[in-house]
Amino acid sequence: MLIKWIMLLLILPTMLYAVDVGGEFKVGHDLDDLAFTFIQLEITQLPVTLYGSWRTWFEVDDMAGYPFRDIYTVGIEVVWDNLFIDVSHFCNHPVVSRTWRDSTWGEVMTTVSVGVRW
């Protein structure tokens, strides 16, 4: 058991050396009374990138926000030379809210892409 931990401690730093982590957080507002928050994260290690995002839409009323929609994306992309394969999952979920109780629609979609980047 101790040997496994020692091996992990020796290998882990070399694995983490090639990791690139990036992200974004933003808050926005449309021209009416709807606003959103957005979080995006990408983790890249050599040819593999894991990514995901979460956007929440909400209605602004009397200085309070009432969420009504959560949108998620998660995926993985593998790159070799200038070729890539990407698997992405998108889902759009209603949120129970004071003003949007009848909002029951939602979507789910998973895509697989193969392509060339230059």
Q: Which pLDDT tens digit goes with each residue over 27-77?
A: 998 887 788 999 999 999 889 999 999 998 888 777 777 788 889 999 999
Q: How would residue 106 be classed by pLDDT, with cut points 50, 70 and 90?
A: confident
- Do residues 62 and 91 lie in contact, with contact meaning Cβ atoms separated by under 8 Å? no
**Residue 48, CA distances (Å) to 16, 79, 93 in order:** 13, 7, 28
Q: How many CA atoms lie within 13 A of 93 on its CB side?
A: 10
C-alpha–C-alpha distance, residues 73 and 79, integer Å: 19
pTM of the model: 0.73
pLDDT digits (tens, 9 = 90+) for 63-100: 777 788 889 999 999 999 899 999 999 998 877 766 65
What pLDDT score does 85 carry? Answer: 96
Q: Domain extents for the chain?
A: 21-116
What pLDDT score does 107 carry? Answer: 85
